[in-house]
Amino acid sequence: MSEVVLAEACAAPVGAGTAMPLPAARGPVSTALLAVLREERPSAELHGAAQEWAATTDSGGAGIVTDEDAQLTLTLLYELHLQGLAGVDDSWEWNPDLLATRALLEGPFEAALRALVELPEATPDTLQQTLETMTTAEGGPGLSRHLARTGTLEQWQEFCAHRSIYQLREADPHTLGIPRLAGGPKAALVEVQADEYGGGRAERMHSTLFGHTMRELGIDASYAAHLDRVPAVTLASVNALSLFALHRRLLGALVGHLCAVEMTSSLPCKVYARGLRRLGFGTAATLFFDEHVEADAVHEQIVSRDLAGGLARQQPERTADVVLGAAVCLAMDELGAQHMMDRWQAGQSSLRGEGPLKPAA
């Protein structure tokens, strides 16, 4: 990576790492939550609204994955444990009514994620090979190929708006695995995360690099700036990661999720960078993707062999959950990509609402 280009790209600040702005509600539960967070209604009313939602929802169905109200509510409740919500008191993080509401939504959400995937058998000895087979399977809707060959600037902006919900805080949920690991797997996760956070240099943090891509594309790169525009399927993929990250019993799934992220990144990032260059963008826009081509070719070895393999040898009972986390990550990526491709092939926007995205400052 050119130091000159990096310095130029980083001359203007990117707003990653600030509190999430409060979005518009998408139904009765998120309406109640936002009123509670603004301290306009008592928190018990939120739990009541969530219980009503649970009583009228098919808790065994996959509908919760595309339920706008449920996914936005989960996003806000999880954010209280991460960057926090703008103007909202931090003490809401451990409010019993909010935690009970989260549990009410998480039960059917976790069940829906488990029902979404078929899990290949794996043992601690075969886990690395199983992960390699899962992450090199052909198929999928061809999102990276489309964006490389024919994607328009508007489609690129939409793609980055979807990705920004995770990418502007890239690595944070996986980092929650560090204190729950020991020995070799802990050292492996720290090694990978250190790269994600720029090896001690804020301007090299991957979240910062993604902000530069967004700004080059002309859209607002401040944290969660496009939250109101992204649909439930996008929020659900980030919420699945938060679910794995915030429950220690799902440590294996968190590790498996990171494996799928790292093991499916290097080649697509090369393809994405090609797409940006086709549209005339330079290194400031492609840095994020260029960086991942090389870094993730190394990371995929560390996470599959030392992190996942090491954890499975230490705690064999977590092996199946590693496979679960990887499978859920792949399935949610595919659902999101399919959503974008379906909308674009129908000549529509993949986002909620009308009009262009908020422009770069």
Site residues for Fe ion per CB under 5 A? 196, 206, 262, 296, 299
Q: How far apart are CA 324 and CA 345, in angstroms?
A: 31
CA-angle at 131, arms to 294 and 300, nearest 5°: 15
Cβ nearer to Fe ion, comparing 170 with 216? 170
Whose CB is nearest to Fe ion?
Answer: 206
Question: If you search the block for the tokens 């009313």, which residue do you land on?
Answer: 45
In angstroms, what is the minimal distance from the CB of 188 to Fe ion?
12
Question: Exposed, middle or buried: residue 187 (CB in 10 Å: 0-12, 13-18, 19+)?
Answer: middle
In angstroms, what is the minimal distance from the CB of 174 to Fe ion?
10
Cβ nearer to Fe ion, comparing 110 with 262? 262
In angstroms, what is the minimal distance from the CB of 354 to Fe ion?
32
Q: How far apart are CA 54 and CA 48, in angstroms?
A: 10
In angstroms, what is the minimal distance from the CB of 116 to Fe ion?
24
In angstroms, what is the minimal distance from the CB of 288 to Fe ion?
8
In angstroms, what is the minimal distance from the CB of 191 to Fe ion?
11
Tokens in use for 152? 């328009």
Q: How many CB atoms lie under 10 A from the CB of residue 201?
A: 11
Cβ nearer to Fe ion, comparing 162 with 206? 206
Cβ nearer to Fe ion, comparing 217 with 302? 302
Nearest to 265 by CA among 284, 242, 291: 291
Return the SS3 of 359: strand
> How distant is the alpha carbon of residue 171 from its chain centre?
9
Return the SS3 of 85: strand
In angstroms, what is the minimal distance from the CB of 205 to Fe ion?
9
Q: How far apart are CA 303 and CA 134, in angstroms?
A: 14
Cβ nearer to Fe ion, comparing 127 with 287? 287
Cβ nearer to Fe ion, comparing 98 with 295? 295
**Beta strands of the chain (E only): which ranges?**
none
Residue 220 neighbours by CB under 8 Å, 6+ apart: 214, 226, 357, 358, 359, 360, 361
Return the SS3 of 77: helix
Cβ nearer to Fe ion, comparing 76 with 209? 209
